[in-house]
Amino acid sequence: MPLTLDHLRRYAIARSLFKPTTLMRAIGKLGFVQADPIRAPARAQDLTLRHRVSGYRAGDLERRYPRLPLEEDFFVNYGFLPRAHHALMHPRSARQAWTPARWKQARAVREFIAERGAVHPREVDARFAHGKTTNWFGGSSNASTQLLDGMHYRGLLRVARRDGGTRVYAVREDAAPVDKAAIDARLDALIDLIVRKYAPLPDASLGQLVSYLGRGVPQWDAARRPALGRARQRLQRARVDGVDWLWPADERADSRRWQPDGQVRLLTPFDPVVWDRRRFELFWGWAYRFEAYTPAPKRKLGYYALPLLWRDRVLGWGNLSVAAGMLRAQLHYVDGRAPREPEFASALEAELARMRAFLGLGE
């Protein structure tokens, strides 16, 4: 039987929404969890993990992070990843070079943090009084915060924990330089990590993600295109309905084991199942948009619309909020109404009950 879009859709859902497991095992299977500060009704990293970690509650990742072998950092975007994956990207150099004066500031701050063990940005600001600076969106922020961000990105610091959502920094040991062969091997491993998280991928989407990998390894820009070529050679490939698709070489996309369950799931906009908007439209035939930064009058789906998945169909979306300790859910359907099957109604209520438990709310 030839491979079809139905095969690929079921494969994408079932391989990503695996049986819930422990927090570290889930992050290991995903390879990377994207982070976002918006809470609607919880942060993206928590909304992603609640489907994949047994008994997960909002905030568990932040609470447990200091005791786990994880790092916060840029990969294809910003988030959390195991230290073994994080080490593949360092030593990292930024695209914008620092002046000698800036490096002098950084060395002084690093010595201060090394003496203290772990430091909140306000302690650095109080100690060095770096003043204010213009941030990337045109506003004003503490120059110390911007310096710490740059030091973290360059691998001089790591995030030790968060206090009230603010990153608390510790010194990170210097990474050893790598040779050409090691760079190629690391890029191959990082691209395989991308594929294992987001597969199956249209070829164009893989190219886009590898371009985003420049955020994690800007120092190896010249080596990324050859690495993409090698990936296209070693991955499984098939042309389905005029689109070239790629997935890991050791998986069969048409295997009968890829069968989505009967649960209803409200997914974060950054969930691996829906992250690639190109793939989303191919699978479900409608355009999902993340509109948190769209002016309210121009929004079509809402501030933070959560795609609504049932079996192998994304039927619509929900806008969820918490008011007076109660979960409020506004649900919308692409076809204009909810499915009439009684199994859907009970599965939807079960998902809302899981959401309330995840948020620590009452009935």
What are the structural domain ranges in the chain?
100-171
Look at residue 259 in the predicted model and tell me its pLDDT: 92
Look at residue 10 in the predicted model and tell me its pLDDT: 97
Q: For the residues of 189-220, what is the DSSP string, one character each?
A: HHHHHHHHHH-SEEHHHHHHHHHHGGGT-GGG
Per-residue pLDDT band for 135 (boundaries 50, 70, 90) equals very low
pLDDT of 104 higher than 60: yes
Residue 248 CA to residue 231 CA, distance in Å, equals: 10
Contact 306, 291 (CB under 8 A): no
Look at residue 139 in the predicted model and tell me its pLDDT: 47
Look at residue 131 in the predicted model and tell me its pLDDT: 53
Give the relative orientation of helices 143-153 and 100-116 as an angle to the nearest 10 degrees: 90
Look at residue 217 in the predicted model and tell me its pLDDT: 98
Summarize the confidence of residues 86-109 as an average pLDDT.
95
pLDDT of 285 higher than 70: yes
Residue 291 CA to residue 305 CA, distance in Å, equals: 8
Tell me the CATH architecture of domain 100-171. Answer: Orthogonal Bundle (1.10)
pLDDT tens digits for range 178-231: 999 999 999 999 999 999 999 999 999 999 999 999 999 999 999 999 999 999
Look at residue 140 in the predicted model and tell me its pLDDT: 40
Look at residue 130 in the predicted model and tell me its pLDDT: 57
- Pick from 277, 93, 77: nearest CA to 194: 77
If you average pLDDT over every residue of the chain, what do you get? 94
Per-residue pLDDT band for 336 (boundaries 50, 70, 90) equals very high
pLDDT of 141 higher than 70: no
Look at residue 362 in the predicted model and tell me its pLDDT: 73
Both structure tokens of 113: 């943090």
pLDDT tens digits for range 275-284: 999 999 999 9
pLDDT tens digits for range 37-64: 999 999 999 999 999 999 999 999 999 9
Neighbours of 32 (CB within 10 A): 24
The Cα-based distances of 328 to 132, 182, 185 in angstroms read 40, 51, 48
Residues for the chain: how many in total?
A: 363
